[in-house]
Amino acid sequence: MNKAAFSLDNYRFEKVNIDFSKKISNSLDIAFSPSGRYISKESVFELKFIFAAHNGEVADAFVKIECIALYKFEKNLQFEDIPTYFYRNSIAIIFPYVRAFISTVTLQANIPPIVLPTMNLSSLEVPLKESTVNI
């Protein structure tokens, strides 16, 4: 069996902001914002995945969580050689961790937790690819 071309090396939650003074209704809109940095010397891809819960304007999010995930490629790749499937799959791999963290941190805030369903986030592939830089 062939080894995977890349693997999740590590992840951390860089920023967590909960400000319920911005919550103006019980309706809930959510937004995801992915971006990336490829460190070609190390063959490491850093995915920044931001979740926001808001009541209409993302800028007025009452929950904002930023996750950084590091992926290591098996072979040294040039930026242009990153497989297109990587962008979609990197988000799919980290999403369960983000989803669980959102539920846990909102539950610990002693409010009804935000429980996200399993989601197909393949539509974030293009925004991630377009917002990735090579360093």
Domain 6-134 in this protein, CATH class? alpha beta
Q: pLDDT for 15-25, tens place per residue? A: 999 998 888 88
How high is the pLDDT of residue 124? 97
Query: Which whole number is the average pLDDT over 48-72?
Result: 95
Instruction: Please give the Cα distance from 56 to 29 (Å, whole number).
Output: 7
Instruction: Please give the Cα distance from 132 to 83 (Å, whole number).
Output: 13
Residue ranges per structural domain of the chain: 6-134
| Residue 41 DSSP SS3 | coil
How high is the pLDDT of residue 4? 59
How high is the pLDDT of residue 3? 57
How high is the pLDDT of residue 1? 43
Long-range contact pairs involving 16-20 (C-beta distance under 8 Å, separation at least 24): 16/64, 16/65, 16/66, 16/105, 17/61, 17/63, 17/64, 17/65, 18/62, 18/63, 18/105, 18/106, 18/109, 19/62, 19/63, 20/62, 20/109, 20/111
